[in-house]
Amino acid sequence: MRWPRMSERDEFDEIARLFRPLTRGAPGAFDLLDDAAVLPSRPGYDLVVTKDAVVEGVHFPEGEAPDMVARKALRVNLSDLAAKGAEPFACFMALAWPRRYEARDRERFALGLAADLETYGLSLMGGDTVVAPGPLWVSITAMGWVPEGRMIRRGGARAGDLVLVSGSIGDATLGLAAVKGEIKDPRGRLIFRYRLPDPRVDLRDELRRIATAAADVSDGLVADAGHIAEASGLRLELDLDALPLSGPAASWLERQADPKAGLLRLATGGDDYEIVCAVPPGTQRPAGFTVVGRLVEGEGIAVRIGGQAVDAGPGGFRHL
Amino acid sequence: MRWPRMSERDEFDEIARLFRPLTRGAPGAFDLLDDAAVLPSRPGYDLVVTKDAVVEGVHFPEGEAPDMVARKALRVNLSDLAAKGAEPFACFMALAWPRRYEARDRERFALGLAADLETYGLSLMGGDTVVAPGPLWVSITAMGWVPEGRMIRRGGARAGDLVLVSGSIGDATLGLAAVKGEIKDPRGRLIFRYRLPDPRVDLRDELRRIATAAADVSDGLVADAGHIAEASGLRLELDLDALPLSGPAASWLERQADPKAGLLRLATGGDDYEIVCAVPPGTQRPAGFTVVGRLVEGEGIAVRIGGQAVDAGPGGFRHL
């Protein structure tokens, strides 16, 4: 780790002031003053580790508020942990401040991260900052515990399993369109959902109880459900008439001249950060989940709207 | 994790081809096909975690060969693990390819990383790639095991402890000067040492046996020994006449009009990636280490050359 730099006493003091409180007293973080952190093994538990970076101009718009960037960077990683059924407990962060960032921007970034660490109950245990040319770059490694052998994989689904998705789908892709000025979002709900994902850590115990496989919906429902099918060696059948939509997304869809294309856009847009999972056919559907399809013998993806097959294309999603 | 992208089939195939072999069969990596990796707890051992990023134009020169960048990015992290007495076992990587990177650059990067993972015996278990504007950016999180409670901290030194440093000091800072054309390096040994650090993972068992505190020498010997003193609540006394120098560094020093300034430059230059440690006074000095000072009651840093106190300045080092 490279937080403290005696050559840059001001930077050192700033880092200490900004980030040390974010360890939230974790003893293995050594107040961010050591070369590394130490994590004792936890017998009976496995450590689940994920690492996603966010880059200005790719994963969030240029000029996004620093606190929102920090929170999004953490939350996309918490979403991965949630999908795996893991309880977040620590993170590490590397970040490149752009040269335009001033002290108040760095402070605002740290405050945003602090708020979310508190909300989700985890500690910052180490990392690295640098001022560099180029865009703001934040890489977070997040870790969580699951009971031994209980991480929910992508590849655990069986033929006949139902495909469920949590919450509602498509708001974030409309939010991105609204950020770009392509659609209206008078109450700002779509934009907010795009800017600040809500990782479904609340679902983790339920998922461990019912899911044979799970993934978070970051690349779009079709793509991420497709990942489960592919990893499980199965064929995905999705029925988009069942797609759960928020009020603003439903009302956007009503205004579309081509509702099929609209529905497909929502189902292939990214950044929802909901959970898609497979459950055995007899499972009682938990509150907050919608059945959107099933997994069968075979391979590939079949998407239906109004009872008719549609071409979902490659299914995925490109950021910005 | 965000390796597989169905929307970008070519990228997906390339990532799979390039990076999947780098898992070296680690079962918890799921062939890089899941959202996260799983690490079983290892009873009787702690996990040591470090995260350092390297940025083009800051930590390595623009246009550096891709394989060298990959290896340096890994090695600076392995150096942290070595200083903590940990045995490397896994890493995660986030990287931003610059737009100018072509397929052969990405391949060369992966091959460089593969070579070092093999050399040091660890697995790539996950991460994230993106093509982004700006410089090449590589963030690695490295993990290693230590026997429970045996991580060597910065803050464990006691008054009276000797300060030892491994190998030789100053080559990398001269190597950087040679890269910039400021000094000559006819045989290229200094430049090579700067470009490709040699993390002292070979010392880890010895360090756990003798060291009360340790750090790797990345910011310069004076700064990093100073970190140990500060974290241990002690005063550092360094005698630079004892500074271990390589042949090329000694011969550079002989040519300096002001040998004191030259010595100070070597002792405050960065990127050596040797180990500085504290050991109790009665310790038999192990082969390959040199006594360069001691820790006493008090605070601050005292540096002596030829028996006289010199001002070591803030002690630290700025990259490039």
Q: Domains plus CATH for chain A? A: 6-147 (3.30.1330.10), 162-310 (3.90.650.10)
Vertex B118: Cα angle to B113 and B121 (nearest 5): 115
> pLDDT tens across A267-283, in order?
999 999 999 999 999 99
For the cut 80, the answer to whether the pLDDT of residue B316 exceeds it is no
Do B72 and B60 meet the contact criterion of CB atoms below 8 Å apart?
Answer: yes
A8 → chain B, closest CA residue: B316
Q: Point out the residue among B30, B52, B55 whose CB comes nearest to the CB of A1.
A: B52
Beta bridge partners of B236: B295, B301
Vertex A295: Cα angle to A291 and A301 (nearest 5): 100
For the cut 80, the answer to whether the pLDDT of residue B292 exceeds it is yes
Q: How many angstroms separate the Cα of A233 from the Cα of each of A296, A299, B21? A: 9, 7, 21
One-letter amino acid identity for B19? Answer: F
* Token duo for residue B288: 């390959």
Rounded CA-CA distance B63/B57 in Å is 9
B154 is in an annotated binding site: yes
Per-residue confidence band for B12, with pLDDT thresholds at 50, 70 and 90 = low
* Token duo for residue A231: 């990893």
A59 is in an annotated binding site: yes
ipTM over 0.95: no
One-letter amino acid identity for A29? Answer: A
Selected residue with higher pLDDT from B171 and B13:
B171
For the cut 70, the answer to whether the pLDDT of residue A135 exceeds it is yes
With a pLDDT cut of 90, the percent of chain B lying above it is 83
> pLDDT tens across A105-127, in order?
999 999 999 999 999 999 999 98
Do A23 and A125 meet the contact criterion of CB atoms below 8 Å apart?
Answer: yes
Q: Where are the beta strands (DSSP E) in B154-306?
A: 162-166, 213-216, 235-239, 275-279, 289-296, 301-305
Rounded CA-CA distance A24/A114 in Å is 9
Per-residue confidence band for B9, with pLDDT thresholds at 50, 70 and 90 = low
Chain B contact set for A30 (CB, 8 A): 153-155, 231
Rounded CA-CA distance B14/A320 in Å is 22
> HSE of A311 in the Cβ direction (CA atoms, 13 Å)?
2
B127 is in an annotated binding site: yes
In total, chain A counts a number of residues equal to 320
Vertex B65: Cα angle to B59 and B67 (nearest 5): 95
Mean pLDDT of chain A: 92
> HSE of B39 in the Cβ direction (CA atoms, 13 Å)?
32
Per-residue confidence band for A319, with pLDDT thresholds at 50, 70 and 90 = very low
Do A267 and A312 meet the contact criterion of CB atoms below 8 Å apart?
Answer: yes
Q: Point out the residue among B4, B5, B137 whose CB comes nearest to the CB of A137.
A: B137
Per-residue confidence band for B320, with pLDDT thresholds at 50, 70 and 90 = very low
Query: Nearest to residue A139, comparing CAs of A89, A181, A102, A94?
Result: A94
| Structural element, H or E, at residue A292 | strand A289-296
Chain A contact set for B208 (CB, 8 A): none
Rounded CA-CA distance B97/A275 in Å is 29
Do A211 and A86 meet the contact criterion of CB atoms below 8 Å apart?
Answer: no
- Report the pLDDT value the prediction gives residue A252, as an integer from 0 to 100: 96
Contact A227 B6 (CB under 8 A): yes
Do A25 and A121 meet the contact criterion of CB atoms below 8 Å apart?
Answer: no
